Amino acid sequence: MTDDTDPRRSGPPPGDHSLQISDLDSQEIDLSDLRWQDGLVLAIFWILALVVFLQFFTRYVLNDSLGWTEEIARYLLIGVTFAGSVMAARKNCHIAVEFLYRWVPRPLRRVMQTVIDLITTGFFAALAGLSVQLAGRTGQMMVSIDVPKSWVYWFVAACFAAMAVHAAINMWRHLSSGTSRLIDPELHADDVRAID
């Protein structure tokens, strides 16, 4: 019989893979694709984290909740969502259904990519316009602080406008280069793995 508690024995027991680190886990994180505008998402996120922590602390530790934290956390979450969507549009990494692309010829994939780019750009631009209309019609103040609620809608409109600009830039890149992640997935396999 062997003693499993022997201190001289090193490493996990045979067949135990729970403590082993794979090559994917030990790779360094690549932040080279971040831009200055991505700092806005990070800033809003950390403000949101602080507000949520404050809400938790005052409610469950002090047993005296701050009323404004719930509403502000809601609006900050909206901010993180839409500012993050701008970053996703810039990186061209919004969710795409690639199933059909694999079985159609390359010339048709190029046409499909152009149609999708046009629809995406138009969709973001239309939502920016609708958000501007909504912001213009909103005259309410926030309940907890004396700030117009329309500021949230103006921020969302600005994010949709930025997404439309990035979608148009991505469309121009796809048209000028003649390739994209959906047109030639084999050429962009590293990009797809980096997103995963």
Give the DSSP H or E segment for 159.
helix 150-177
- Do 161 and 80 reside in the same domain of the chain? no
- Do 85 and 161 reside in the same domain of the chain? no
Cα 170 to Cα 9, 137, 166: the distances in Å are 56, 32, 6
- Do 102 and 196 reside in the same domain of the chain? yes
Question: Token pair of 6, please?
Answer: 């022997």
What's phi and psi for 33, nearest 5 deg?
-90, 5
What is the span of the domain harbouring residue 79? 36-91
Q: How large is the C-alpha radius of gyration of the chain?
A: 24
- Indicate the range of 10-14, 75-79, 127-131, 133-137 predicted with least confidence: 10-14
- Asked if 114 and 171 touch (Cβ cutoff 8 Å), the reply is yes
The model scores a pTM over 0.95? no
Please state the rounded mean pLDDT for residues 128-147. Answer: 92
Please state the rounded mean pLDDT for residues 166-178. Answer: 93
| Model pLDDT for residues 22-43, shown as the tens digit of each residue | 555 557 776 677 777 788 999 9
- Do 109 and 193 reside in the same domain of the chain? yes
Instruction: Return the higher-pLDDT residue of 167 and 38.
Output: 167
